[in-house]
Structure 1
């Protein structure tokens, strides 16, 4: 039986690097080598993945976020073309509309090979944060980015989008609805579970028995950290007895520590440790509006942790207001603090959110999502065969 060949392009293929990487590895770790043969092309990653070659491209560090690198395929384009021609993929998978992604798209079109992409990162939502000191550039940059993404995604055969909210924004951007399919995110219910609750660990971490507010994410400005600072300030001002625990690492950590002097910073933690933090906290607070999906919200729900999040981005699709959590006006700290106070004062409401959030999270299954993806590859390979015939 001839295996289906997939050329898989991504900037970074390191399993726990970020939410996009974790999503990709949920698929990579489920590849059936009897049905599929993959060639991975990336800027940062190992030499082999699941026994398949991983061809690494020279990359440059991004000036606005030095934890990320961008592959520069033009430096090795002859070698890369030869490798792709020799591999002769039936399908091209592109993670990001970057230099590498556009190189992959051009190759696919020339070779008449179908293209699938997963919309991982809502880059347009980052512009407000990274251009806040040059506000006159915000709208022109957004317009340019929207136009480039419209051109890119309208050349893909299938684009997996994680939420209805993001799908709506992409439609407004001009991306054709017929190309988009809702493909949500899954959860590992064995890892993220209320059974991981450990009050002793939280007492050891905080030194008291006060309720704990948890924020878990990369510490980067596009996570709406300035609103998080104001939430913290207002809680301090109102003398609400609670702990603030910040789990994560990133370029903004020092600024966070300066602005939230009484908060507890864990740094980057393993998924196992994170699962205990979720299950042992009392409220998950997440003001980010830049999420395509918001995996951390789903992880918190699966851990039985009530969520108070921004009414923005893909995360908000997880919340049915007042039923399994609260959404807040994204930049209004008073709204968050009012709802935090309400939840801290009502055990009944907290239990309701915990139970309903847990039940909601059970509908998100990685095995089912991966099966959909691999079935999609098989369907696309049939289209490719018909075109070539």
Structure 2
């Protein structure tokens, strides 16, 4: 495990690569993986590399995009049950072998671990093309939230085997890298995440939007942003808001996002504003118009929403986990609570809801912290990482085709 370093001279002098990037999610799908990949693909293209994007067709009749350094190859996929808007890419080994034999990429990067991703790793190894991977989602941790906890160990074993067939696995935090290394993952490297501080900014705060929520200028708008699903632990956010409301009757809860738990959450908190899915400047205004951001998830690999809230000048309360563990200093630029301490999470949320001056001070510090988390540096790191694997040559890729003896 190592955190990547790089030099600007290395990137400027590097050859321009043809990179095949395989993913089961892409814009306009709304999730952290799709957003992150969009940023990273843009970064590769702006640095002179060309990207062949291989992904499932999102809607019937969709045609592949071409131009400006990007070429799309659309594959077949199936809708994921209980995960609206996302597809599972179907196996495509024969097609990828044919495609990459006809026009060979310099490197294959696999961002998701479904059947499409597995067959992409297999095809790349067979053709002796260097292949790398991302670990974006704790799928094994999700199983207990969907009534299939008995699958956690088999899923974890599959993920470990998947990533150990690649030359490097990129993760967003040092804590996740250490955990995966302890679980038997090899060649784990850290590439963090960035935030768009021009889009997410306190300048987008809207009193008109706050009034539409029923929040007075002196009131407290408490916001949660993300998929409304069991693994996000949103019940805790609503319990924290109920405790806030006892102290601050002028508080209002705003839930941004959609998902399978929406109806149940609406029943449990009928006074909350359920704003649904928001995008772009509209989403940025929803962040910036809030006063307190609650993020109780314990299943993230990163949690881009934490950085987005901080960049928006909003005080965040989160567990000391994933992005929050990397960027939040407790009572320095937000509030960080020990993982799993639900009473502590609620108490900290109530404390900050009732301390307007402290909350404003932490919000300003959060913005300053976010300004130092730049996508350009992240994209330099990602580009340098791929170049290093490419320079290592195809021999390593071929040797990674099968698990080592004794590997799960």
Answer whether TM exceeds 0.5 for this pair. Answer: yes
Q: Quick check: 1:338 aligned with 2:347?
A: yes
Partner secondary structure for residue 380 of structure 1: helix
Alignment-derived partner of residue 168 in structure 1: 178
Alignment-derived partner of residue 22 in structure 1: 35
Preserved CA contact (<8 Å) 1:165 1:314: no
Partner secondary structure for residue 171 of structure 1: helix
1:132-143 pair list within 5 angstroms: 138=149, 140-143=150-153
Alignment-derived partner of residue 253 in structure 2: 244
Partner secondary structure for residue 12 of structure 1: coil
Q: 1:36 aligns with which of 15, 40, 49?
A: 49
Deviation at 1:214, TM superposition (A): 0.5
Q: 2:95 aligns with which of 52, 75, 79?
A: 79
* Distance in 2 separating the partners of 1:166 and 1:188: 23
Deviation at 1:232, TM superposition (A): 3.6
Alignment-derived partner of residue 359 in structure 2: 350
Alignment-derived partner of residue 47 in structure 1: 64
Structure 2 spans left out of the alignment, 5+ residues? 1-13, 398-408
Partner secondary structure for residue 73 of structure 1: coil
Q: Which protein, 1 or 2, shows the higher relative CO under an 8 Å CA cutoff with sep ≥ 6? A: 2
Preserved CA contact (<8 Å) 2:334 2:366: yes
* Distance in 1 separating the partners of 2:37 and 2:155: 24
Q: Quick check: 1:105 aligned with 2:121?
A: yes
Partner secondary structure for residue 71 of structure 2: strand
Alignment-derived partner of residue 56 in structure 1: 74
Q: Quick check: 1:305 aligned with 2:314?
A: yes
1:109-120 pair list within 5 angstroms: 109-120=125-136
Deviation at 1:387, TM superposition (A): 7.2
* Distance in 2 separating the partners of 1:94 and 1:358: 33
Deviation at 1:347, TM superposition (A): 2.9
Partner secondary structure for residue 6 of structure 1: strand
Using the size of structure 1 for normalisation, the TM-score is 0.89
| CA offset digits 1:55-94 (Å, max 9, x no partner) | 11111112232332101125xx433321121121110100
Using the size of structure 2 for normalisation, the TM-score is 0.85
* Distance in 1 separating the partners of 2:100 and 2:84: 30
Deviation at 1:340, TM superposition (A): 2.1
Preserved CA contact (<8 Å) 1:291 1:315: no
Deviation at 1:50, TM superposition (A): 4.4
| CA offset digits 1:123-156 (Å, max 9, x no partner) | 122122112xxxxx52x42221221122121222
1:1-389 pair list within 5 angstroms: 3-32=16-45, 35-44=48-57, 47-51=64-68, 52-74=70-92, 77-131=93-147, 138=149, 140-176=150-186, 179-206=187-214, 208-209=216-217, 210-236=219-245, 240-329=249-338, 332-384=341-393
Preserved CA contact (<8 Å) 1:147 1:173: no
* Distance in 2 separating the partners of 1:239 and 1:352: 19
Partner secondary structure for residue 43 of structure 2: coil
Deviation at 1:15, TM superposition (A): 4.2
Deviation at 1:256, TM superposition (A): 1.5
Deviation at 1:101, TM superposition (A): 1.1
Matched pairs, number: 378
